A and B are shown apart, each in its own frame.
Chain A
Amino acid sequence: AQSVTQLGSHVSVSEGALVLLRCNYSSSVPPYLFWYVQYPNQGLQLLLKYTTGATLVKGINGFEAEFKKSETSFHLTKPSAHMSDAAEYFCAVSEATGGFKTIFGAGTRLFVKA
Chain B
Amino acid sequence: DAEITQSPRHKITETGRQVTLACHQTWNHNNMFWYRQDLGHGLRLIHYSYGVQDTNKGEVSDGYSVSRSNTEDLPLTLESAASSQTSVYFCASSETSGNTIYFGEGSWLTVV
Contact = CB atoms under 8 A, between A and B. Distances in A.
A101 B42 contact: no
B45 interface: yes
Interface string A43-61: 1111001010000000000
B104 interface: yes
A104 B42 contact: yes
B106 A42 contact: yes
Contact of A106 (B4, B40, B104, B106): B40
A92 B101 CA distance: 11
Contacts of B101: 34, 36, 44, 46, 102
A89 B96 CA distance: 23
Nearest to A90: B42
20 contacts: A9-B40, A43-B92, A43-B104, A43-B105, A44-B43, A44-B103, A46-B100, A46-B101, A90-B42, A90-B43, A94-B98, A99-B97, A101-B45, A101-B97, A102-B94, A102-B98, A104-B44, A106-B41, A106-B42, A107-B43
Interface of A: 9, 32, 34, 36, 41-46, 49, 51, 90, 94-96, 99-107
Given A101-B97, A106-B41, 6 more contacts: A42-B105, A44-B43, A95-B98, A100-B97, A100-B98, A104-B43
